[in-house]
Chains A and B, each alone.
Chain A
Amino acid sequence: GEDVEQSLFLSVREGDSSVINCTYTDSSSTYLYWYKQEPGAGLQLLTYIFSNMDMKQDQRLTVLLNKKDKHLSLRIADTQTGDSAIYFCAEKARGSTLGRLYFGRGTQLTVWP
């Protein structure tokens, strides 16, 4: 199956920018997603990007996609304590008849006041 890799932990100070990185292996991926999971809760879709795009911005969130290196990043500007959560990167492969997503292990973001 596809491998999606993320670093496990990231700590930032409130007000700084956070950058969460992800690498994937399937060059035919069609969609790449970022989900947020707060403690004891389900996964909340934050944003997604089509594989033919390089960047997508949505308020404080910026997604960058480097298809050559199969690298995806999520930048959170002006990080707040409420942004503390686990962030999952996921990819959907082209031709995936199951529509399944392949998830990374998640990055635990801790925001210090």
Chain B
Amino acid sequence: NAGVTQTPKFQVLKTGQSMTLQCAQDMNHNSMYWYRQDPGMGLRLIYYSASEGTTDKGEVPNGYNVSRLNKREFSLRLESAAPSQTSVYFCASSPREAADTQYFGPGTRLTVL
């Protein structure tokens, strides 16, 4: 049972490049989340998906798009990367929308030059 997996683990981009961060969970969870973590700060919610086919903006959605491809997968896309998007990105999932504990993936460390 892998839990929440994320790919890639590390990525370096040049300003203006695009990329997609992948996240998958095998726990049959309904809700999935994308967070970013910056040095000395807690996690901030980028986007959220309550269920397959639905997505909602979180605290810091600008510059990102998401796709809930199916119940297992939730991807985060940077269309035109900027140095301010250098961060560690965490995907999380939980069984239901509001009541349950969130389980986190190992993170993707992204550097934008």
Contacts and interface: CB of A to CB of B under 8 A. Distances in A.
A100 B104 contact: no
A16 B69 CA distance: 48
A97 B104 contact: no
B97 A97 contact: yes
A99 B97 contact: yes
Contact of A41 (B56, B58, B99, B106): B106
A44 interface: yes
The B contact surface, by secondary structure, is: loop
Nearest to A101: B102
B101 A104 contact: no
Contacts, number: 66
Contacts of B105: 42
Nearest to B92: A43
A75 B109 CA distance: 31
Interface of B: 4, 31, 33, 40-45, 48, 50, 56, 58-59, 90, 92, 94, 96-107
A97 B98 contact: yes
Contacts of A44: 104
A4 B42 CA distance: 9
26 contacts: A4-B42, A31-B101, A33-B101, A35-B104, A42-B4, A42-B107, A43-B43, A43-B90, A43-B92, A43-B104, A45-B104, A88-B43, A92-B98, A97-B98, A98-B45, A99-B33, A99-B99, A100-B58, A100-B59, A101-B43, A101-B45, A101-B102, A102-B42, A103-B42, A103-B44, A105-B41
